[in-house]
Amino acid sequence: MNIASVNNLFLNTMTPSIERTEQPKTTFSTLMEEKITETNNQLNAADEALTQLASGHAENLHQTMITLEQAKLSFQYLEQIRNRLMTAYQELLREQI
């Protein structure tokens, strides 16, 4: 009995269970870089809005306050991410080897 022909038939019908997937296009570092850049831009816009308000050139006080609050919330969000990362890092340091 020729087993080789049966083996070839069986092996050809099997699909590979492990397929290579593409690398994700966005990594954690790129997401963090984008968030830091976005927060920096919002802080710069808030600073510019405050400068305009102090010089008397601000046309809309409400828009200035909205810009300030957006920058504040964005910075607080980024600060919470940093705090969580630091907590995770400290827990890793406490791990027993």
CA separation for the pair 50, 67 (Å, rounded): 9
pTM of the model: 0.67
**Nearest-angstrom CA–CA distance, 34 and 25:** 13
Q: Given a cut of 70, is residue 82 above it in pLDDT?
A: yes
pLDDT tens-digit map of 66-77: 999 999 999 999
Residues 5-35: tens digit of each pLDDT: 656 655 555 555 667 677 767 898 999 999 9
- 49 in Cβ contact with 67 (< 8 Å): yes
pLDDT top residue among 59 and 75: 75
